[in-house]
Amino acid sequence: MRKINVKEIVLVILIITLSSIALAQSNVSLSIHQDVRLGLIGDDVGNDAGTINILARLKMQSNQQAFGYLVVFPEFEYAEIEGSYKRYSANVGYTFNELVVNNFEASLFGGWGFIDRYGKSFFSFGGSGEIAYVINNTIKASVVGQLTERKDLKYMYSKNEIRFSGFIGLEINLK
């Protein structure tokens, strides 16, 4: 008899939920970001400059409201570090695009998911803020500040931590 895999259940629920929500969206976009520190200088635990740490989001936006719009998205993060770090999460937040400065957007998001590392899975929560500059109707350049609960570090070092990461990248409208 096959064992129930919690990751598969969460993934199916996430896909069904996001698919139903996507039908009511006014825009869908894909964003790809690279961790700035790992990309440029590395870290103090043996990861050199140029280490890949990619953050990918498939954002689904609600219709425009007075100050901005609601956003939901699945997120995937992959880092080429020891133990092959992969994080999957479902997120929701709000983007403010009616700001004093034209062509800028400010967003806050929260989410929950799990981290796969060393062949084990760890549930975790996270939050992020994003500042984006709208280049045109298709492309935005943005920076993301992310806080993530890192239960994988508890497994490794017996210390549960919340870690900050800074990313830079692009968002491309698909719809």
**Torsion sign (Cα): 104, 56, 86, 16:** positive
**Nearest one of 44, 74, 46 to 59, comparing CA atoms:** 74
Do residues 53 and 31 touch, judged by C-beta distance below 8 A?
no
Mean pLDDT, 10 residues at a time, over the chain (175 residues)? 56 57 73 96 86 96 94 96 94 95 96 94 96 97 97 85 96 92
Distance CA 136, CA 157 (A): 45
**pLDDT value, residue 10:** 61
- Position 1 scores a pLDDT of 43
CA nearest to 82, candidates 43, 112, 113, 111? 43
Name the nearest CA neighbour of 53 among 41, 73, 70, 36: 36
CATH level 2 (architecture), domain 6-173? Beta Barrel (2.40)
Q: What is the pLDDT of residue 157?
A: 85
